[in-house]
Amino acid sequence: MTTRRQLTIKPSCMREIAAYPNDRTHTLWEKIDQLVADPMPDGRAKKKLKGADGVYRLRIGDHRIFYRFADDWVSLLGIRRRQEDTYAGVPGDDISDGLPPQAEDDDLDALLERGQPREFRFDQAPASRPLPKPITSDLLRDLGVPVAAVPTLLRCRTEDDLLEAAVPADAITVVLDALFPPSLDRLAQQPDLVVPSTQHLVRFKEGDLLGFLLRLDEDQRRLTRWALAGPTMVRGGAGTGKSTVALYRVKELLERPGATGAERVLFTTYTRALLAVTRQLLEQLLTPEQMRRVTVATADQVAFDVVGSTRRVGKVEGDRQGLSRLNGLRRRHRPDGGSAFEVRLRRRALERLSDAWLAEEFDWIIDGRGLQTLEDYLAAPRPGRGLGLNARAREAVWDLHREFASEPGGERFPALRLEALDIVRSGRWAGYYDYVLVDEAQDLSPVALALLAEVCTTPEGLFLAADSKQSLYSRNYTWSSAHPRLQFRGRTAVLRRNYRSTREIDRAAFLVLEPEEGEELE
């Protein structure tokens, strides 16, 4: 019995599928299914490319699918339209797979000429080069570019215009891929994403599916099963696959020897924007029964649910509303200080601090660490905050924070986290999880980390994925100081291979980056 080959795809190929003509997708899905069933070259529709190691092409109308394969997998590298002059004079509705192959069809240089890396120099250069072809409304529509970005992109005439366009980076990326298809060398550096079936590609094309799981390399695969009895941490830079390891680890935990089939899992993401894609990726890994035992939430949602189990939670105050309220409070706030002179000094100390800076100090230092007294705040180390505070300034900030916290207003997540932590610690909550996996742990405050550690039945069920170089706010605390359960000695692993940046970008970055005190660059 022949086992179906695993289908994988490169990220740039996903964007090319998104741009593929909608009226021809039925044929595209059929061809991909045939390719997975039998990728062997036949000398006609499927041929090996000259000058490319193990790269093949499948002819589909006026497009070519480039792929690699082995006994148990097929990898889609790209879907490219043939050069315009190749089919000059052929009616648009008369394109057939029966067309005889052209001589240049097997010439890798001719096929991928536009995808060769371009050379950029930092010395004085002439005017920016024009784009290889115009950006049109039809192109942007096929690429799925947001409507708001279309007018700006339509005005781009040169490479610099495009690179400097004031639109989301994702929109620029898809247009760059369309105008400058990546070369095979660049494609080789991209990760392989696992496609469970062609139907999943259909869902992606229709916008129903947001992404696919990374195909694990050997180091990543080892970490999905490593130290299942935690607490365990995997660290690595952006693009090394930490989050993917965490996702695959859910499956390993639920299917580990001795599992009862009743274990409950909490998987936390840092932002709400990642919830939908995380659920979809887990659905590609787990059975429906397993998915029913997995909760995907942010740390703030966990705090909200815990507090909501004991009282009615009101409307949560957003960041913008909080800043507005803080600004109004500062206009009427009179610092404590005894003498008029001391009051002036404290007011002056507060005046040099912006609303945004004070809000971060409240949320990430005072509330974020659960500081209960002025003495705690006076003694708290604050490296990384960018501005030192003497005792008088700290007293003024503490006084303002107390008044801000006691003012009537909406619920605030920093306060909800503290309240939730107290509820769990006091035994007034019974919704414990057997396993808690925390993604992007470096971006959570100590109180949020402590809450997630507490909702796990035992320390052995804890797993954290963290990036020490991308904290939104300087952590300036140790994991174990956030909670005694977070001690990872002997159970910390580091991923070093980057699937998101090119080798050239990595080399350039490490020439610029300098390690902080006591830190090693990874």
Per-residue pLDDT tens for 38-94?
999 988 889 998 877 889 999 998 899 999 999 999 999 999 887 643 333 333 333
Q: Is residue 518 part of a domain?
A: no
End-to-end CA distance of the chain: 45
What pLDDT score does 103 carry? 41
Is 170 within 8 Å of 11 (Cβ atoms)? no
* Helices within 229-309 (DSSP H only): 242-254, 275-285, 288-291, 299-308
Does residue 167 register a pLDDT over 70?
yes
What pLDDT score does 184 carry? 75
Q: Is residue 146 part of a domain?
A: yes
Judgement on whether residues 401 and 478 belong to the same structural domain of the protein = no
Q: Is residue 242 part of a domain?
A: yes
Domain housing 236: 216-310+420-512
User: DSSP state, 138?
Assistant: H
**How many domains are there within the chain?**
4
Judgement on whether residues 32 and 107 belong to the same structural domain of the protein = yes
* pLDDT averaged over every residue in the chain: 84
Q: Is residue 520 part of a domain?
A: no
What pLDDT score does 142 carry? 78
480-501 confidence digits (pLDDT tens): 888 999 999 889 888 887 766 6
Amino acid identity, position 444: L
User: What mean pLDDT do residues 243-251 have?
Assistant: 94
Q: What is the CATH number of the domain that holds 285?
A: 3.40.50.300
- CB atoms near residue 223 (< 10 Å): 26
User: What mean pLDDT do residues 253-270 have?
Assistant: 93
Is 65 within 8 Å of 57 (Cβ atoms)? yes
Q: Is residue 517 part of a domain?
A: no
Dist CA 447 CA 364 (whole Å)? 9
Output the pTM of the full model.
0.77
Judgement on whether residues 129 and 275 belong to the same structural domain of the protein = no
What pLDDT score does 469 carry? 66
Judgement on whether residues 300 and 448 belong to the same structural domain of the protein = yes
What pLDDT score does 88 carry? 33
User: What mean pLDDT do residues 204-228 have?
Assistant: 87
Of 239, 215, 178, nearest to 76 by C-alpha is: 215
* Cβ burial, residue 257 (10 Å; 0-12/13-18/19+): exposed
Judgement on whether residues 92 and 35 belong to the same structural domain of the protein = yes
User: Locate tokens 């760059």: which residue?
Assistant: 176
Q: Is residue 490 part of a domain?
A: yes
Of 33, 28, 61, 23, nearest to 45 by C-alpha is: 61
What pLDDT score does 126 carry? 59
Judgement on whether residues 61 and 36 belong to the same structural domain of the protein = yes
Tell me which of 200, 215, 230 is where a domain ends: 215
Of 431, 417, 409, 418, nearest to 314 by C-alpha is: 409
Judgement on whether residues 90 and 190 belong to the same structural domain of the protein = yes
Judgement on whether residues 369 and 281 belong to the same structural domain of the protein = no
Based on DSSP, count helices (H) and strands (E) in the chain, helices before strands.
23, 13
DSSP assignment string, 366-400:
ITTTT--SHHHHHH---TTSSS---HHHHHHHHHH
pLDDT tier at 474, thresholds 50, 70, 90: low
Tell me which of 376, 410, 444 is where a domain ends: 410
Does residue 19 register a pLDDT over 60?
yes
pLDDT tier at 338, thresholds 50, 70, 90: confident
What pLDDT score does 513 carry? 56
Q: Is residue 404 part of a domain?
A: yes
Q: Is residue 388 part of a domain?
A: yes
Judgement on whether residues 126 and 63 belong to the same structural domain of the protein = no
Tell me which of 380, 410, 440 is where a domain ends: 410
Judgement on whether residues 324 and 424 belong to the same structural domain of the protein = no
Q: What is the CATH number of the domain that holds 95?
A: 3.30.2310.20
pLDDT tier at 149, thresholds 50, 70, 90: very high
Amino acid identity, position 511: L
Of 483, 316, 297, nearest to 415 by C-alpha is: 316
Judgement on whether residues 103 and 175 belong to the same structural domain of the protein = no
Judgement on whether residues 194 and 84 belong to the same structural domain of the protein = yes
Phi and psi for 520 in degrees, rounded to 5? -115, 130
